[in-house]
Amino acid sequence: MQAEAFFFWVFAIVLIVSALAVISARNPVHSVLFLILAFVNAAGLFLLMGAEFLGMILIVVYVGAVAVLFLFVVMLLDVDFAELKQGFVRYLPIGALIAIFVGGELGYVAFSWIGSPSPSAAATPSGTLSNTAAIGRVLYTHYFYFFQAAGMILLTAMIGAIVLTLRHKVGVRRQNIADQVARDPKTAIELRKVPSRVGI
């Protein structure tokens, strides 16, 4: 069996198992970690197909978005981290196994890219654009408005999540912009007549 076929089956099996674990795990933190593992394996599949742009987008954008999702889950569900830290040793073997899988997959991709005689020629036929340049040309010409609309929708969703999860604690002084703008010298400055050699 060739190395590409072997790693295809490894990526595919780990991807399916981790995707099932995302929806079956009861702990939201575990679901987020399995989701990151699923994204890494999906990126490996894209790299095997020569679509390096989509693979890097999965790693850079989606794994970063998962970190933000993790933050929102903690804010919405109020996860007790003290309780999670108590079970750190118990889950350490599973975490180490996942780290070994991810490290082996990334190592294979890196060594195969370095060992190939012309890394760019394997994914791009001669005389044509690379898939990154082709996607960028299409995305910023024919689908520019849809691309910007998607960005605005994601920005609105992020602001809405922050507004929904914002909690005001009692006793915490907060800044009021309207009161600061409405201040005048009469309310902002207090003059006192202090006698000589006497404190305030």
Interacting residues of 30 by C-beta distance below 8 A, sequence separation 6+: 21
12: pLDDT strictly greater than 80: yes
Q: How far does the chain reach from its first CA to its final CA, in angstroms?
A: 88
Query: What contacts 35, CB < 8 A, 6 or more positions away?
Result: 18, 22, 66, 69
Q: In this predicted structure, what is the pLDDT of residue 149?
A: 92
Torsion, CA 17, CA 52, CA 96, CA 111, rounded to 10: 130
Q: Give the pLDDT band (50/70/90) at residue 152.
A: very high
23-80 pLDDT, tens digit per residue, is 888 777 777 778 888 888 888 888 888 787 888 888 888 877 776 777 676 666 666 6
Strands (E), the chain: none
Assigned CATH class of 3-188 = mainly alpha
Q: According to the model, what pLDDT value does residue 153 have? A: 92
Give per-residue pLDDT as tens, 93-128. Answer: 777 887 787 778 777 767 776 665 554 444 555 556
Lowest mean pLDDT, pick from 44-48, 87-91, 157-161, 176-180: 87-91
**pLDDT confidence tier of residue 2, bands split at 50, 70 and 90:** confident
pTM: 0.51
pLDDT tens sequence across 182-198: 888 877 788 778 888 77
Integer-rounded Cα radius of gyration of the chain: 27
Alpha-carbon distances of 106 from 47, 103, 149, rounded to whole Å: 10, 5, 34
pLDDT at 87: 63
HSE toward the beta carbon, residue 20, CA cutoff 13 A: 5
Higher pLDDT, 110 or 164: 164
Q: Give, as one character, the DSSP assignment of residue 141.
A: T
pLDDT at 86: 63
